[in-house]
Amino acid sequence: MASAVLKVAAAGVSRCSRVALQRVHSTTAPLHQGVPASLWKLGRLNHIAIAVPDMEKATALYRDVLGATVSEKVPLPDHGVYTVFVELGNTKLELLHPLGEKSPISGFLEKNKSGGMHHICIEVDDINAAIADLKTKNIRMLSAEPRIGAHGKPVMFLHPKDCDGVLVELEEA
């Protein structure tokens, strides 16, 4: 009889400690507990893009005045831009200047004559999973399919009106 009581008590203690452990776990668990884990993850900031009206002047600012290492100017006709990358150690700046008559940054430079921050680029581990998921959350994609971006990797732009006024580029890392 006494041993039966002890067994029941022991079972109770171990059940309590399991519950306690689960509670400790729940305070440190991700906020989306109960929601299936996402199939894709956001990564590091890849770059911040700045649209500039004068590429040579902007490149000289970062290279000669601010002392940064800058890349060559690269034309990307498929995207309608010239790019220069500025190395910052923890991330990069991408200087953008229009290329061709239908450049997607022409309208932006019309409105911002002296240039300005154009978009941010964040890495993702799986761009197709990100696109599929974000579409279900009513975030508009700015092209039908991912395109190959400045680093030779698939990219997708998200509509700035769906991202708090910021044009967001996702790049598969």
Ligand X SMILES: C[C@@H](C(=O)O)C(=O)SCCNC(=O)CCNC(=O)[C@H](O)C(C)(C)COP(=O)(O)OP(=O)(O)OC[C@H]1O[C@@H](n2cnc3c(N)ncnc32)[C@H](O)[C@@H]1OP(=O)(O)O
Interface residue with ligand X among 58, 62, 79, 130 (CB under 6 A) is 79
- 158 sits near ligand X (criterion: CB under 6 A): no
Best CA proximity match to 173, nearest among 129, 128, 122: 122
Query: 32-61 mask for ligand X (x: CB under 6 A)?
Result: -----------------x------------
- Report which residue type is found at 88: L
In this complex, which beta carbon is closest to ligand X, that of residue 70 or of residue 150? 150
CA–CA distance from 53 to each of 2, 13, 35, 64, 66 (Å)? 87, 71, 46, 18, 19
In this complex, which beta carbon is closest to ligand X, that of residue 76 or of residue 129? 76
Interface residue with ligand X among 30, 77, 152, 165 (CB under 6 A) is 165
In this complex, which beta carbon is closest to ligand X, that of residue 4 or of residue 110? 110
Interface residue with ligand X among 157, 168, 170, 172 (CB under 6 A) is 157
**By the 8 A CB rule, do 74 and 83 touch?**
yes
Reported in sequence order, the residue ranges of the chain that DSSP labels E, i.e. its strands, are: 42-51, 69-70, 74-76, 81-87, 92-98, 116-124, 147-148, 154-158, 167-172
DSSP-assigned beta bridge partners for residue 81 = 76, 98
Provide the token pair at 151.
């680093």
- 76 sits near ligand X (criterion: CB under 6 A): yes
Contacting residues toward ligand X, per CB under 6 A: 49, 76, 79, 81, 94, 96, 104-105, 107-108, 118-119, 121, 142, 149-150, 155, 157, 160, 165, 167, 169
